[in-house]
Structures are given as structure tokens and as C-alpha cells.
Structure 1
Amino acid sequence: MQSKISALGLDIGKKRIGVAGCDGTGLIATGLTTIVRTSFVADVASLQAIIQERQAQILVIGLPYTMNGELGFQAKQVQKISHRLAQALNLPLEYIDERLTSIEAEQLIGKQQKSPIYDKGIIDRQAAALILQRWLDARRAALQVLDAPIT
């Protein structure tokens, strides 16, 4: 039996942080909000409020690998801010490959709205949900392997 989980998925960009949460069962990730970045202190305060409200136990952060799977400049920047955030928020963090999540988010939203999307905040929030969903799916698959009977 899987334990309850409360995780926050983050899509960290230079201007915004897309935030997603999951249901307690760890099955479904949902976009929650987009934080417009102004300062590190303000970012921490905004995230702290969400963490307290949702009783989050872990941060799941999308890492933007290059298309050939390497850690490029942007991924290294995300790692720096992620470590600072995790330390300030006193939460563990895990990374998940976020390649193409913004494009996928834009396509999903476009299908729902049947018109082009110009609100980058909505895209960031949806990308955060995709990041968290990937992590939840991988976590569930790993737990199923551990729970499988030995033959």
C-alpha cells in the first residue's frame, strides 16, 4: 500500500515559477498557481504559504536538460536556485527531466481553449503539473516494482 504524499512541482524560470500540487494519493497533479518572481525572499514567502496550506513534504523541480541530455547553462541555473529554495524552505528536493514540458503544456491548453495561448503564467502552471505528473508516475512505477512478488 502506498503512503500519502504531498509534493509540489515547480517549473522555475527567470520571470516566473509555475507551481503544481498533487492529491494525497499521488495519482494526479494539478496546476495551482504561477508566482511572478520579484526577489528570492518574496519567492520563498510565496512558496512557504503554499507549502503550509498543502502540507507539502517535497519539492519536485523540472530540470531543463539540453536535447542531447546534458546539463546546460539553464539547468545549472535552475539547480542553483533549487538548492537555495530547498534549504530556505527546509524541504528535500528531487529533479525530473522537463524537456519539452512547456511545448506540451501549450499544446494541451490550446486543445482545451481552441485558440492560441498568450498567457505564459498559465503555460508555466501547466508545465509544473506535467513535471509533477512525470515524477508521480515514476514514483508509482518504482513502488510497484518494489511491491511485486518475488518469483
Structure 2
Amino acid sequence: MPSPLTVMGFDYGTRRIGVAIGNTLSCTTQALAVIAKDHEDARFAAIASLLKEWAPNLLVVGLPTHPDGAAHEMTSKAQRFGNQLAGRFKLPVAWVDERYSSVVLEGDSQMRDNLDAHSAALLLEQYFAEHPFNGN
């Protein structure tokens, strides 16, 4: 039986980055934070702090596309962000199709203030569903 992994998920946006945490033992997720820093260095400093606190083994980044799966401007920006995470923090990055993650949550008024972090949690749930761990 493989050891459980701690997985950190990111819902990348140009103004905000939602962050969530989960693990492969229970396949549960938790919205952590929304990073809304103006400068890239400040964003990565905030991410470094979360990585130090949670010590994930794997990072998951949402990959936005058009409903038909075609790439658009945000697709390449999210890919660049994920590649920067891998390069800066020397952690593996997995990708999850995020076409409908924010749409699913937008109607929930309780989540509106923390929508990006909840979107990141939803991305992690999708990752766990697509990559079963320990028979889950």
C-alpha cells in the first residue's frame, strides 16, 4: 500500500490564486487561502509559506480551457504558473481540467467570499476522483 500523500491544489487567476489542501488517504479537501498579491514575488512568497506549513508531496493546478476543450489565453498563463511552481519549489505538478469548477460554486452564497479557495478544493476532489488512491 503506497504512503498517503499531501496534495496542494491551485486555482490560478491573474488577480487571485485559490489554494486548497488534501490528502490521498481520505481523499478529502479543505479550502485554505486566497492569495491576492499584486506582485509575482509576493504571490510566490505567500505560496512558499503555505508549502512550508503543509509540506505537500504533489501540487495540482487547474487548467482552464473553453467548454470544447480548446486552449485560450488563461490556459497558457496557468501552464506557466504550474511550471514556475515546479521549477521554484522542486515539486511535481499535475493538471486538472477546470472548465466548470467556478461555475459549480458561483451559486453558493456561503462560498462567494472564498470562491477561489473552494474552486481549488473542487479541483483537488476532481484529481482524487480521476486518480483513485487506496481503493477510494
Q: TM-score, normalised by structure 2?
A: 0.90
The aligned residue for residue 34 of structure 1 is 34
* TM-score between both structures, scaled by the size of structure 1: 0.81
Please tell me whether Structure 1 or Structure 2 has the larger radius of gyration of its CA atoms: 1
Deviation above 6 Å: which 4+ runs of structure 1?
A: none
Residue in 1 aligned with 2:8? 8
Q: How does 1:15-94 map to 2 (within 5 A)?
A: 15-23=15-23, 25-94=25-94
Q: Distance in 2 between matches of 1:77 and 1:60?
A: 15
Answer yes or no: is 1:140 the counterpart of 2:132: yes
**In 2: Cα distance, 1:72 partner to 1:137 partner:** 25
Q: What is the CA deviation profile of residues 32-52 of structure 1, one whole-angstrom value per residue up to 9, with x for unaligned ones?
A: 010013222111111111111
Find the aligned partners of 2:44 and 2:26 in 1 and give their Cα distance. Answer: 24
Q: Percent identity?
A: 28
Question: Do the aligned residues in 1 keep the contact of 2:9 with 2:19 (CA within 8 Å)?
Answer: yes
Find the residue that maps to 2:129 and give its secondary structure. Answer: helix
Q: Give 1:135's aligned amino acid.
A: Y
Tell me the distance in 1 between the aligned counterparts of 2:21 and 2:101. Answer: 16
Alignment RMSD (CA, Å): 2.0
SS in 2 for 1:31: strand
Long gaps (5+) in structure 2:
none
Letter of the structure 2 residue corresponding to residue 25 of structure 1: L
The structure carrying a bigger helix percent of its residues is 1
Gaps of 5+ in 1: 145-151
Sort the Cα spacing of 1:26 and 1:138 in 2 relative to 1 into closer, same or farther, 3 A. farther
Please report how far the alpha carbon of residue 6 of structure 1 lies from its aligned counterpart in structure 2 after TM superposition.
0.6
Task: Number of aligned residue pairs: give it.
Answer: 136
Q: Secondary structure at the match of 1:132?
A: helix
Residue of structure 1 in register with 2:104 after alignment: 104
Q: Secondary structure at the match of 1:140?
A: coil
